[in-house]
Structure 1
Amino acid sequence: MDRRRVNGPAGGTAPPVYASTLTGKTASAANRTRQPNEIRKIFVKTGLTPSASGSAYLELESSPATHHSKSLTNRTPALKLTCTVHGPRPLPRSAPFSPQLLLSTRVKFAPFAARQRRGYIPDASEKDLAAHLETALRGVLIGERWPKSGVDVVVTVLEGEEDCPLEALAEGNQGGRIGGWGLMSILSGCITVASAAVTDAGIDCVDLITGGVAAIVRQPSAPLQLVLDPCPSDHEEIVAACVIGYLQSRDEVTELWAKGNISPSSSGKETKPLCFETLVDLAVEAANGARRVLVEAIKESTEAKLESSAVG
């Protein structure tokens, strides 16, 4: 017997099993109720972490078809992200002189962010998201104004999107929906929430940057279709997708990540030609939609700061 710790019971224990998780039917893969050119509702709030130089919270609504579902297998996760910015702060004296602001980004999934529990050590997907986020922000920050200084941007994924329902994941019947498509929506949200946190920290930027994502999807017995802000679990198969970091006032793209089979359409049945340029244009349209929400959130936060300073 180990006297240094409290030992567990001698017999085995079983976790509780709820009936609603077993009797519920798997949600249909083609349950998107939004129009192809419609993005999900976005909620952005800044200044939620007092200990950080800047912070922000972003949330995308889940699929409307699963709002009233009583089964966990039928629920589509809602994307929830938080971002904290620490700095700019002086670099250590031992560090070499840098005329530019040194940017460090990190994207971390909470252990409960996905249905498959993640570890505490950063995996390959988290490192890839952090690299894409750093590329997007590096073209926005005015680094010349902060020599020999560093800033840390940390994004925490509280709830991420899945490529397939829980029941299909457990049975191994994942079809063509596995391929990391949910990471593209997560990256789009990371870019937007990081922009809000950097602005809240008062760091000089050339413009507000927002993320946008578009995809080419295939539905049963239907031609290929272009959609904005795709949710992987709402579609039978995602053929290709593109996510960008876009500066509207400068009409510049600082980050571009595309994957899948992107080629001109030969059937002639689609409403728009399925090519790479069209996919990028739709991603820009999604980024512009997110920008409108971001601007309103920053205005609201600025007005609240001005009122508090006037009262104080």
Structure 2
Amino acid sequence: MADRRRVNGPVGQTAPPVYDSPRSRREAKQLGDNAIRKIFLKTGVTPSASGSAYLEIEDPNATGPSSTSLKLTCTVHGPRALPRSAPFSPHIILSTHVKYAPFATRQRRGYLRDASERDLGVHLETALRGAIIADRWPKSGVDIIVTIIEGDQNRDSPDYDGDEGWDVMNVLSGCITVASAAIADAGIDCVDTVAGGVAALVAKDDKSPPFVVLDPDVAGYHKIFAACCAAYLPTRDEVTNIWFKGQLPGADAMIYNKMVERSLVACRNANRVLVSALNETVRSG
């Protein structure tokens, strides 16, 4: 007798849907080399947490109803007292946890953190540690949890598989910005609002020379040689973390310096969105 309470799947194999004529990289809408994608940031989205924030970044290649390529949410729990068994600490204990949702990328993610997610957590902790005034909360701990709802990838591109190595830079930049907003929403004292930014050395085709761009859309370029993600405190003019990935042609130090400078420009642009979102929260509250 058939089980009427269970919805059985198909008996045979199924094939994923195929969409006609996906847009290639050459047909994608290009932003200016000195422009960044639009950012939406909102705080106070999780009432049960001490602080929370939600971030979206525009996808210039979107053709469907969704116009975003990166979606992140962050919750902050604490500061709260450490267990009695924990050793004494004169500073706050910062714990960061970055995790992709299983459906965030085209290749389904597991429920346990992999090496790339642990690396993101380490870089995020380093970036935030330079901004938080840690000695204000001795014998305390705070948990910062970032969930990547949708990765920065163009799923309609025929060259999609080549994008997965570089989208992590934009993901880390968004994690830094959304975590900074959530920390401010939690009322944790910081020396400044830290924001993330990315610059990359790219080429549009095989014949054109490489050049440096801000906030690179991975699907919009033929090849990416290197990328630099920085965490920056604009008011204090301090860098709390730099992550460089790739190889420079000829090991030119001037290109490296230019990439760092351009990534700081992207940080300042993201910080303006961050400050605007915090001011909007103060006015509405």
* TM-score under structure 2 length normalisation: 0.91
* Counterpart amino acid of residue 248 in structure 1: P
Matched, 1:130 2:121: yes
8 Å contact 1:84–1:155 — kept in the other structure?
yes
CA distance in 1, matches of 2:280, 2:118: 33
Alpha-carbon offset, residue 67 of structure 1: 3.3
8 Å contact 2:153–2:164 — kept in the other structure?
no
Question: What is the aligned partner in structure 2 of residue 289 from structure 1?
Answer: 269
Alpha-carbon offset, residue 165 of structure 1: 4.9
Q: Residues 223 and 274 of structure 1: is their aligned pair in 2 closer, same or farther, counting only changes over 3 Å?
A: farther
Question: What is the aligned partner in structure 1 of residue 191 from structure 2?
Answer: 206
1:184 to 169, 179, 185: 169
* Counterpart amino acid of residue 294 in structure 1: L
Alpha-carbon offset, residue 163 of structure 1: 7.3
- Where does 1:222-301 land on structure 2 (aligned, <5 Å)? 222-263=208-249, 275-301=255-281
CA distance in 2, matches of 1:179, 1:50: 33
Structure label with greater radius of gyration:
1
CA distance in 2, matches of 1:146, 1:13: 59
* Partner secondary structure for residue 94 of structure 2: strand
2:89 to 77, 95, 98: 98
CA distance in 2, matches of 1:265, 1:107: 32
Q: Residues 209 and 30 of structure 1: is their aligned pair in 2 closer, same or farther, counting only changes over 3 Å?
A: farther
Question: What is the aligned partner in structure 1 of residue 41 from structure 2?
Answer: 44
CA distance in 1, matches of 2:188, 2:30: 39
* TM-score under structure 1 length normalisation: 0.83
RMSD across aligned positions (CA): 2.6
8 Å contact 1:244–1:255 — kept in the other structure?
yes
Question: What is the aligned partner in structure 2 of residue 196 from structure 1?
Answer: 181
Q: Residues 166 and 224 of structure 1: is their aligned pair in 2 closer, same or farther, counting only changes over 3 Å?
A: closer
* Counterpart amino acid of residue 110 in structure 2: G
Q: Residues 224 and 7 of structure 1: is their aligned pair in 2 closer, same or farther, counting only changes over 3 Å?
A: closer
Unmatched 5+ residue regions in structure 1? 267-272, 306-312
Question: What is the aligned partner in structure 1 of residue 57 from structure 2?
Answer: 60
Alpha-carbon offset, residue 261 of structure 1: 1.6
Question: What is the aligned partner in structure 2 of residue 308 from structure 1?
Answer: none
Unmatched 5+ residue regions in structure 2? none
CA distance in 2, matches of 1:29, 1:257: 29
* Counterpart amino acid of residue 288 in structure 1: R
8 Å contact 1:141–1:204 — kept in the other structure?
yes
1:23 to 20, 24, 32: 20
Question: What is the aligned partner in structure 2 of residue 270 from structure 1?
Answer: none
Deviation readout 1:215-266 (Å, 9 max, x if unpaired): 0101212111110000111111001110000001111000000011225688
Matched, 1:152 2:143: yes
Alpha-carbon offset, residue 99 of structure 1: 0.4
Identity among equivalent pairs (%): 50
8 Å contact 1:54–1:201 — kept in the other structure?
yes
CA distance in 1, matches of 2:190, 2:144: 14
Alpha-carbon offset, residue 168 of structure 1: 3.6
